[in-house]
Amino acid sequence: MNRIAAAALCALIASPSLAAISRDELKKALDANPDLVLEALKKADKAAFFETVVDAQKDYQEKKEREAEEQQKQELEQAFKNPMKAAIDDKTRIRGDKNAPITIVEYSDFECPYCARGYKAIEAVRQKYGAKLRFVYKNMPLVAIHHLAMPAAQWFEAVALQNPDKAWIFHDKMFQNQDKLGDDFFRKTVKDLGLDVKKAEADRNSDAVKAKIEADVREAREFKFTGTPGFLINGVPLRGAYPPEEFDKIIARLGV
């Protein structure tokens, strides 16, 4: 039964003429005759009724937010004790000192506006911590809502096959020019970087690029990242486009 029907049911139960009817009996009656809800609404004080519905919805939303916050706190505490371990090896594309004590892994989507905020936050964090921090970018294109996210990820990985260092420049330019994303922009940027455009076009559809993106997405799902951006700070998750201060809090607690 939806919330409106439930509210109407409460109004019916409160009616003196229905005091002797049990909850189960009333539910069966409403299930068999859903039009009774509409009839009850016609007779109800509509302003008071909808005010009750709005209040109920607000209470429900606040409850869910509290539950989500509590769940996030519990997850955070657990992660400090048992950090999540992203796959990082000799082939991993790393920005910064490979031996830095702080590792931030991002799961992101080049078309996502929240990821553009995440990019700015990461740049601020990188500038602040310098050689103490290394950064890893992993693809999590939300293809259901961002039709350019997968092509962008493919071009990025294709560029990385030619020149990992210039792939970071390509990465930056995509977040700085989200309104220009598309094949023409990708080709021009590759050309401007002095790379082989035809090779990049071929590589973007290669098995190697496909496997890399699939591995990134699979790992993100294993860590229960459902939206973008998502971050692991030495294995501690931060889910969403948070300002640099939130990264600072986790890094300070890690004591690195």
Q: What letter represents residue 212's amino acid?
A: K
Note whether 18 and 103 are same-domain residues.
no
Specify the number of domains making up the chain: 2
Query: Residue 49: what pLDDT?
Result: 61
How do 236-239 and 230-233 pair as beta strands? antiparallel
Note whether 51 and 104 are same-domain residues.
no
Among 31, 51, 81, the domain boundary falls at: 81
Residue 60 maps to a domain: yes
Residue 88 maps to a domain: no
CA distances in angstroms from 228 to 38, 46, 89, 159, 185, listed in the order given: 41, 41, 23, 22, 23
SS3 232: strand
**Domain encompassing residue 135:** 95-254
The ranges of the chain with pLDDT < 70 are 1-21, 36-37, 40-50, 53, 64, 68
The closest of 129, 138, 137 to 101, measured between CA atoms, is 129
Residue 89 maps to a domain: no
Note whether 62 and 106 are same-domain residues.
no
Note whether 67 and 116 are same-domain residues.
no
- Taking only Cα atoms into account, the Rg of the chain, rounded to an integer number of angstroms, comes to 26
Q: What is the pTM of this model?
A: 0.75
Query: Residue 169: what pLDDT?
Result: 98
